[in-house]
Amino acid sequence: MTLQHPADRGGDRRARFARLAENASNFTSSPVFFGVCLALVALVVTAHALKLPDEWLLLAGESMTAVTLLLLALLKNSERRAEHAIQRKLDAIAAALLEMQENNPGKAFEDLRSAIRMEEES
């Protein structure tokens, strides 16, 4: 296990996880997932209203806890990817401005162009 920033990790494994995180993020922002969460909340409320046995109440509560934990991890991953993309764009802008100030446009403008396209990739 490594403690590197997710965007700095290399290899196919990161690419698979990045795709999984992106797909999960898209699903969790969909109306279908909202419906699933609404049904889960309705299940918990119904279980309490019907005074079901403690085992069922525990199962319902633990299900909500598990969904909450997974969403928290997904949110943090999305936040870190966005943070890294923003930092790369800011670095590219600063380098391009320095090159422009020195009247020597070059590699920084290409880096800026590729950084601008980052949201298409992430």
In a domain, 3, yes or no: no
pTM: 0.59
In a domain, 6, yes or no: no
In a domain, 5, yes or no: no
**pLDDT for 91-115, tens place per residue?**
888 887 877 777 776 777 677 767 6
Give a three-class secondary structure readout of the chain.
CCCCCHHHCCCHHHHHHHHHHHHHHHHHCCHHHHHHHHHHHHHHHHHHHCCCCHHHHHHHHHHHHHHHHHHHHHHHHHHHHHHHHHHHHHHHHHHHHHHHHCCCCCHHHHHHHHHHCHHHHC
Query: Which of 10-19, 42-51, 79-88 has maximum average pLDDT?
Result: 42-51
**pLDDT for 23-79, tens place per residue?**
888 888 889 989 988 988 888 889 889 998 999 889 888 988 998 898 888 888 888
Query: What is the domain range of residue 18?
Result: 11-121
Q: How many domains does the chain have?
A: 1
